[in-house]
Structure 1
Amino acid sequence: MIRHIGINVSDLVKAKYYYDNLLPSLGFELHIVAEDQFAYRPSDNQSGPSIFFYPALEDERYSRHKPGLQHLAFTAESRSAVNDIHAKAQLLGSEIIYPPQLFPQYRPHYFATFWLDPEGIMLESVCLTENHSN
């Protein structure tokens, strides 16, 4: 089981603002704040990996098309929650890759949205049920 994920970012302050406005809606709470890092963990003592953010030590731009991390997916309880996250990502100025829609090629009822964070990391919110309400 994955315990935590570490992500390097070019601007720690900008990344913290972005994720402070996004991750609570995805079921995470702020866990660590320090000069050289911040981290989120699953809210309400839920199990799951924490996400740590660190300042990048090199200037190379991230690309999901190079070897390495391709994207991070977050489970949503309903299709409405996917729609809400999509709206929040838009408000934060994120580039939307796919608006909320069904992706039957993945599996039945796979309803998701995909977008890029400020570093260009692709993020996904996905609901795997027919549940339309919160």
Structure 2
Amino acid sequence: MLHHVEINISDLNRSREFWGWLLTELGYHPYQEWDSGISWKQGATYLVFVQTEERFLSHPYHRRRTGLNHLAFHATSRQQVDDMASELKRKGIAVLYEDKYPNAGGPGHYAVFFEDPDRIKVELVAPDHE
């Protein structure tokens, strides 16, 4: 079981707004908060977001470089994926691969893909059994 993931972000306030909304929708609750970071927890696993130090901000994140490619979360249903896709659009957050939605991950893979404020790709995946 995964204990936690810590992600450095470029703007704590933007990330707090984005991730706070998303993780709350997915059943996480606020866990820790300090001057340069915040975390949300569900069960035994938590996600931590920490403000990148100024001296490291000149090299922005890109998922094609070595390191994290994306985070994928379990949805409770296809309806939750569809509701999330609608809410993302309402909030002005682009849905990636929209022309292939909801099967951009391949046949039988029902998901929505989008990016956080630092362009970290996020995926919400419906259960296989639907």
TM-score by length of 1: 0.84
Structure 2 gap segments, 5+ residues each: none
> What pairs up with 1:1-134 in 2 under 5 angstroms?
1-42=1-42, 46-47=43-44, 49-57=45-53, 58-59=56-57, 60-99=59-98, 100-102=101-103, 105=106, 109-131=108-130
One-letter code of the match for 1:20? G
Cα-Cα RMSD: 1.8
CA offsets, 1:7-27, max 9 Å, x none? 111110111011121111112
Kindly provide the amino acid, as one letter, of the partner of residue 7 in structure 2.
I
Tell me the matched-pair count: 125
- 1:78-103 Cα shifts (integer Å, max 9, x gaps): 10000111122223332321344135
Residue 14 of structure 2: SS of its match in structure 1?
helix
| Distance across 2 between alignment mates of 1:91 and 1:128 | 24
| Structure ranking higher in strand proportion | 1
Aligned counterparts of 1:97 and 1:52: Cα–Cα separation in 2: 24
CA distance in 2 between partners of 1:7 and 1:90 (Å): 25
State whether residues 97 and 104 of structure 2, in contact with CA within 8 Å, keep that contact through their aligned partners in structure 1: no
Corresponding letter in the other structure for 2:88: A
For 2:97, what is the secondary structure of its paired residue? strand
Instruction: Output one character per residue of 1:29-55: Cα deviation in whole Å (capped at 9) or x when no partner.
Output: 11112211100001xxx34x2100000
Aligned-residue sequence identity (percent) comes to 28
Q: Is the 8 A contact 1:103 1:109 kept in 2?
A: no
Determine the C-alpha separation between the residues in 2 that align with 1:15 and 1:4: 17
Contact 1:109 1:130 (C-alpha < 8 Å) held by counterparts: no
Aligned equivalents of 2:88, 2:112: Cα separation in 1: 10
CA distance in 2, matches of 1:104, 1:122: 13
SS in 1 for 2:50: strand
* Structure 1 runs not aligned, ≥5 long: none
